[in-house]
Amino acid sequence: MAPPAGPVRAPEADGTAGVRIRAARKEAGLTQQGLSAAVQVSRQTIIAMETGDYAPSVYLAIKVARALNASVEDLWAADPAAEQ
């Protein structure tokens, strides 16, 4: 059985991780291009993460979190306040 075609959707439909990623990126003073260069992916990948159309690998999530001076949990936890 082949996997479904199309983008890999992040598990949350409301895009809250994407909102947190975008906010952290802006707070860090990075453009989408700047973040993509820092983590060595395309700008389109950053856009897809911010819109919730792409769930990154653990490795990429760690790279993004480090580039944004945040933790993976801060960016992708279902409820960051509950994690503390």
Distance CA 36, CA 47 (A): 9
- Expressed as residue numbers, the domain containing 43 is 16-74
Residue 53 sits in a domain whose CATH number is 1.10.260.40
pLDDT of residue 44: 97
What pLDDT was estimated at residue 21?
96
Does any domain span residue 40?
Answer: yes
Mean pLDDT across the stretch 54-63? 95
* Euclidean distance between CA atoms 48 and 40, whole angstroms: 15
Q: In the predicted model, is pLDDT for residue 13 greater than 50?
A: no
The domain tally of the chain equals 1
**Average pLDDT over every residue of 36-46:** 97
Using pLDDT thresholds of 50, 70 and 90, give the confidence band for residue 16: confident
Number of helices (H), then strands (E), in the chain: 5, 0
